[in-house]
Amino acid sequence: MSEACCDNPKLMKNIVILISGGGSNMAAIVRAAQTQSWEKRFGARVAAVISNRPDAQGLVFAQKQGIPTQTIDHTSFASRASFDQALSVAISQYDLPTQPALVVLAGFMRILTPAFVAQFEGRLINIHPSILPAFPGLHTHQRAIDAGCMFAGATVHRVTAELDFGPILAQAVVPVLANDTEQSLAARVLTQEHLIYPSAVRALISG
């Protein structure tokens, strides 16, 4: 991508990150975008951070970086479909005529409706704390320990209507140690998440 292209706001690739809590993966992506000059080199920027929880601490980090934030409280909606519709409207304001926004789930603890997934198909990605297809869903670290796994890890994947089943973009592997607890294994995996998620996003926006 040329410098002239990057200077044209109509060609900017907006990245919208969805969070529910501390947003450590979001922060890792933001820091990578800053230190690696994504806007100048690839014409891409983190354009917004949206949370379904008003108390999500990740919003504070994003605001300190000058990134627009928004809260769409899921408890204010009568159904998943109505919440997803409001979320869709919020994300779509960052779509540009030539560049629809990349939607990055970073600890976003909501199961999305098939209609929402279909709307953003091909530009919706997630990170899951296991080596998929092993251990989709919740409590992945304890399940890996209980199963006697020698290795655990994380997976960046495209989001499809089937939970934790989309095409794999990147994976990382860590050893499961004899004295591991759910918390210690989660911490070890998280350090790898902070490496592979920004890398996977960069690969997508750099084309």
89-110 pLDDT per residue, tens: 999 999 998 889 999 999 999 9
Q: Using 50, 70 and 90 to split pLDDT, how confident is the model at 1?
A: very low
Question: Would the pLDDT of 182 be above 60?
Answer: yes
d(CA 104, CA 54): 19
Question: Quick one: pLDDT at residue 8?
Answer: 56
Mean pLDDT, residues 186-198 taken together: 98
Residue percentage of the chain with pLDDT more than 90: 92
Q: Using 50, 70 and 90 to split pLDDT, how confident is the model at 9?
A: low
Strands 13-19 and 44-51: parallel
Instruction: Count up the domains in the chain and report the number.
Output: 1
Question: Quick one: pLDDT at residue 3?
Answer: 39
- The reply to whether 128 belongs to the active site is yes
Question: What CATH number has the domain bearing residue 154?
Answer: 3.40.50.170
- Report the side by side order of strands in the sheet with 13-19: 69-71, 44-51, 13-19, 102-105, 124-128, 151-158, 168-175
Q: Using 50, 70 and 90 to split pLDDT, how confident is the model at 45?
A: very high
The pair phi, psi for residue 195, each rounded to 5°, is: -95, -45
| Structure tokens given for 102 | 């990349």
- Burial, 41: exposed, middle or buried (Cβ in 10 Å; 0-12, 13-18, 19+)? middle
Catalytic residue among 128, 141, 157, 194: 128
Question: Quick one: pLDDT at residue 7?
Answer: 54
Question: Quick one: pLDDT at residue 5?
Answer: 45
- pTM for the whole structure: 0.94
- Domain of residue 27: give its range: 3-206
